[in-house]
């Protein structure tokens, strides 16, 4: 109710410059913020420009506009869209007059995104998941709000305690005259106790504290420490069962490319519910005191692929491995059928979160004979020094090769809906 009414004339916050809503996932922040933003804009202005932003235009349309549009239609708004211009024109009769305003959709994906919003004059700004956007984009967008009475609307889930949005916006909300409302999952009346419990069991460690408890906490120590368990391991009997039931599996090879660093191939079976990592190839040229070229690695890969009767449907490859991908294309990787070569999604933090979710829900399993993979998955650590120096979270780039290969597969092949519903 505060979000829906804070800007109204009888609210003690009506003259504030904006609002920030942060906290746990599935707490209802986005729904309330987006609806209130449009109602405020249409009630206050006529013929003005507004910006509605997501990490990408596609994510905004999927996460916000998909459900916001029918809400507005039910409330009597006229909606006209131009996808080529990323423009939404809203009109509504108010008394004897028809008010009309222009809502431009922007994506704040990277530093170059600020160029897209430069030059426009805005009466209001709404940023969904603002913590996923670069500071330069948010500064540029907020700087465009020069119409008298313009207001800023931000919502997000927590991130690192060194994150720029926490340090320069939330902690300075009084100075900037911004209303700050912190949400928890229990604040969403539409969620049943069963659904809340399902979300609570999806995360562990730092991700649990951020997404469920709504805390801005530091990622430190072993990355998968709280999600790891001996229950994730399986032995020869289960491996034999999997290999006898390949007809119900999909098989993939996921690769972390290395020349001086180790080259890793992981063999993964997917039964539609769980992932089973059954074999590994691990060549460390330093330890072996022998380097291999792309041709030799391709030979090894073909031999590795032939180690299981089911031919893989795809090979997921480290996006930096351009020369190796050329070698594989030249080889064709043909046997019974063509193998699709896929560039891996390399969003590190989001990928780690997805792997953590599947580990926590016991949907990823590792054969007990994967010596290098098991060692690296349990020793994979956050880089505390990098966080202190740059404010950015990232893993230590030591013994991260098998974890990278696992992350590539999960991020690239497993759909977000499946991860959310495990």
Beta carbons within 8 Å of 138's beta carbon, 6+ residues apart: 108, 127, 130, 165
pLDDT of residue 340: 77
**Over residues 219-233, mean pLDDT:** 94
pLDDT of residue 210: 95
pLDDT of residue 338: 53
* pLDDT band at residue 336 using 50, 70 and 90 as cut-offs: very low
End-to-end CA distance of the chain: 32
Angle subtended by helix axes 294-305 and 322-331, to nearest 10: 60
Whole-number Å distance between alpha carbons of 91 and 62: 22
Asked whether 89 and 103 are in contact (CB, 8 A), the reply is yes
pLDDT of residue 416: 85
Beta carbons within 8 Å of 148's beta carbon, 6+ residues apart: none
**Over residues 163-170, mean pLDDT:** 96
Q: Quick one: what percent of the chain has pLDDT higher than 90?
A: 82
Whole-number Å distance between alpha carbons of 345 and 412: 5
Whole-number Å distance between alpha carbons of 187 and 190: 9
H or E segment to which residue 125 belongs: strand 124-128
All structural domains of the chain, each given as residue ranges with its CATH number in brackets, are 2-198 (3.40.50.300), 230-420 (3.30.420.280)
* pLDDT band at residue 260 using 50, 70 and 90 as cut-offs: confident
pLDDT of residue 335: 40
Q: Within 13 Å of residue 305, how many CA atoms lie on the same side as its CB?
A: 24
Of 50-64, 180-194, 384-398, 399-413, minimum mean pLDDT range: 384-398
Taking the CA atoms of 291, 296, 297 and 301 in sequence, report the sign of the dihedral they define: negative
Whole-number Å distance between alpha carbons of 81 and 88: 5
């Amino acid at each position: 109710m505060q979000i829906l009414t804070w800007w109204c004339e009888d609210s003690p916050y009506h003259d504030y410059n904006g609002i920030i809503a942060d906290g746990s996932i599935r707490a209802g922040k986005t729904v309330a913020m987006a609806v209130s933003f449009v109602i405020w804009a249409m009630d206050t202005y006529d013929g003005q420009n507004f910006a509605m932003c997501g990490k990408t235009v596609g994510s905004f349309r999927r996460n916000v506009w998909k459900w916001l549009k029918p809400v507005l239609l039910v409330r009597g708004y006229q909606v006209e869209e131009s996808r080529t211009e990323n423009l939404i024109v809203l009109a509504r009769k108010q008394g004897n007059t028809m008010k009309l305003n222009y809502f431009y959709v922007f994506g704040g994906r990277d530093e170059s995104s600020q160029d897209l919003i430069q030059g426009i004059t805005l009466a209001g700004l709404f940023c969904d998941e603002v913590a996923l956007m670069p500071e330069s984009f948010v500064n540029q967008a907020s700087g465009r709000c020069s119409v008298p009475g313009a207001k800023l609307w931000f919502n997000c889930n927590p991130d690192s305690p060194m994150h720029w949005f926490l340090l320069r916006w939330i902690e300075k909300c009084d100075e900037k005259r911004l209303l700050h409302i912190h949400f928890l999952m229990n604040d969403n009346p539409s969620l049943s106790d069963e659904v809340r419990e399902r979300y609570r069991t999806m995360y562990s460690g730092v991700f649990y504290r951020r997404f469920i408890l709504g805390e801005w906490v530091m990622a430190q120590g072993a990355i998968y420490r709280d999600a790891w368990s001996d229950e994730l391991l399986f032995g020869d009997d289960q491996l034999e069962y999997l290999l006898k039931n390949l007809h119900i599996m999909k098989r993939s090879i996921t690769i972390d490319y290395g020349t001086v660093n180790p080259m890793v191939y992981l063999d993964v079976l997917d039964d539609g519910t769980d992932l089973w990592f059954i074999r590994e190839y691990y060549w460390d040229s330093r330890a072996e005191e022998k380097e291999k070229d792309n041709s030799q690695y391709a030979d090894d890969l073909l031999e590795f692929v032939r180690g299981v009767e089911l031919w893989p449907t795809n090979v997921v490859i480290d996006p930096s491995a351009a020369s190796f991908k050329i070698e594989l294309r030249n080889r064709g990787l043909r046997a019974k059928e063509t193998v699709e070569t896929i560039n891996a999604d390399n969003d590190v933090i989001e990928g780690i979160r997805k792997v953590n979710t599947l580990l926590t829900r016991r949907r990823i399993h590792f054969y007990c004979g994967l010596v290098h993979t098991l060692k690296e998955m349990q020793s994979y650590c956050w880089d505390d020094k990098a966080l202190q120096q740059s404010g950015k979270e990232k893993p230590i780039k030591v013994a991260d090769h098998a974890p990278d290969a696992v992350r590539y597969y999960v991020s690239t092949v497993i759909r977000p809906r499946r991860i959310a519903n495990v």
